[in-house]
């Protein structure tokens, strides 16, 4: 596992938006980034869970966090533009965007995959990432050193039976990342990458592998050195890369 001891002020004066911030890796990123000085905008569909994360962060790092409940299934392009305008009014720029929200969906053969599950999952896992990125690119462009990180999956790099829309959506996420990275490589300071966290002790993992002992998987906290490094100035040379948290090496 990658080792990195981040200074406590690593993300001081940085404004970072995290989707899927009410649980799992997104929640741990939020708490960790706040501990390292970041200002945070936390998106999620469950207001109660978002408020719980807000309270947890506020108790230790007051005045650092804004929450924005948003259901990606029903959100429209206008909703994303409204969010972008609100952030422009509140913050000088956006220094980081982590696309962490995702649905797992049905674990069925394609032949029997539920059409509604397919549509909802694509809306959350790829369409929302497109709309949100498009709306926030101007704000990211105002940062001197912005980071845009898409959450990937091993089943979105090599297809696997019965993973259905989840796997297909993660292939699409990789395509969005690579296309955007190529467009911005020579025209922007925004660094764009995808990161596969690997098997992690989360609710989604338990839903995908109900017979597995959760204790056999690493915690989300163990991933934080990688996330912190990718948000840091040291990662400026990493761009357009399909990264894996379990084998991450910034020098490779």
Better-predicted residue by pLDDT, 196 or 210:
196
What is the residue-averaged pLDDT of the chain? 93
Predicted pLDDT of residue 219: 82
Q: What is the mean pLDDT of residues 47-51?
A: 96
Q: What is the pLDDT of residues 205-249, one digit of tens each?
A: 566 556 656 665 678 888 999 999 999 999 999 999 999 999 999
pLDDT level of residue 112 (50, 70, 90 thresholds) = very high
Say how far apart CA 34 and CA 25 lie, in whole Å.
14
Predicted pLDDT of residue 209: 58
What CATH number was assigned to the domain covering residues 15-246?
3.40.50.720
Angle, helix 164-184 to helix 128-141, in steps of 10 degrees: 20
Residue 116 is encoded by which pair of tokens?
């509604």
166 is catalytic: yes
pLDDT over 60 at 192, yes or no = yes
Say how far apart CA 9 and CA 14 lie, in whole Å.
10
Helix, strand, coil abundance in the chain, percent, nearest 5: 50, 15, 40
Predicted pLDDT of residue 119: 97
Q: What is the mean pLDDT of residues 181-189?
A: 96
Residue 245 is encoded by which pair of tokens?
């948290």
How far is C-alpha 57 from the chain's CA centre? 18
Q: What is the mean pLDDT of residues 21-50?
A: 96
Predicted pLDDT of residue 129: 97
In percent, the amount of the chain with pLDDT more than 70 equals: 92
pLDDT over 90 at 251, yes or no = no
Q: What is the pLDDT of residues 121-149, one digit of tens each?
A: 999 999 999 999 999 999 999 999 999 99
Q: Give start and end residues of each alpha helix (H) in the chain.
A: 24-35, 47-60, 77-90, 115-122, 128-141, 164-184, 203-208, 224-231
CA-derived radius of gyration, the chain: 17
Least confident of 29-33, 106-110, 209-213: 209-213
Q: What is the mean pLDDT of residues 16-35?
A: 95
pLDDT over 70 at 202, yes or no = no
Catalytic residue among 54, 80, 113, 166: 166
Domain boundaries, the chain: 15-246
Residue-wise burial string across 74-90, b where 16 or more C-beta atoms lie within 10 A, e elsewhere: ebeeebbeebbeebeee
Q: What is the mean pLDDT of residues 43-52?
A: 95
pTM over 0.75: yes
């Amino acid at each position: 596992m990658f080792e990195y001891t981040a200074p406590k002020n690593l993300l001081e004066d940085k404004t970072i938006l995290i989707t899927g911030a009410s649980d799992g890796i997104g929640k741990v990123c939020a708490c960790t980034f706040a501990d390292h000085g970041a200002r945070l905008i936390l998106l999620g569909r469950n207001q109660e869970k978002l408020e719980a994360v807000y309270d947890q962060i506020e108790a230790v790092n007051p005045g650092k966090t804004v929450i924005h409940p948003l259901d990606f299934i029903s959100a429209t392009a206008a909703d994303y533009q409204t969010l972008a305008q609100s952030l422009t009014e509140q913050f000088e720029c956006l220094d980081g965007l982590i696309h962490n929200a995702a649905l797992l969906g049905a674990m069925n053969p394609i032949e029997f995959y539920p059409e509604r599950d397919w549509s909802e999952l694509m809306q959350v896992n790829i369409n929302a990432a497109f709309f949100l990125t498009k709306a926030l690119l101007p704000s990211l462009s105002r940062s001197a050193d912005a980071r845009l990180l898409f959450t990937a999956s091993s089943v979105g790099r090599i297809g696997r039976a019965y993973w259905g829309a989840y796997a297909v959506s993660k292939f699409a996420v990789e395509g969005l990342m690579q296309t955007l990275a190529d467009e911005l490589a020579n025209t922007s300071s925004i660094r764009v990458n995808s990161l596969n966290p690997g098997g992690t002790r989360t609710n989604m993992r338990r839903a995908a592998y109900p017979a597995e002992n959760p204790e056999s998987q690493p915690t989300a906290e163990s991933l934080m050195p990688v996330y912190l490094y990718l948000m840091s100035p040291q990662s400026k040379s990493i761009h357009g890369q399909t990264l894996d948290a379990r084998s991450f090496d910034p020098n490779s």
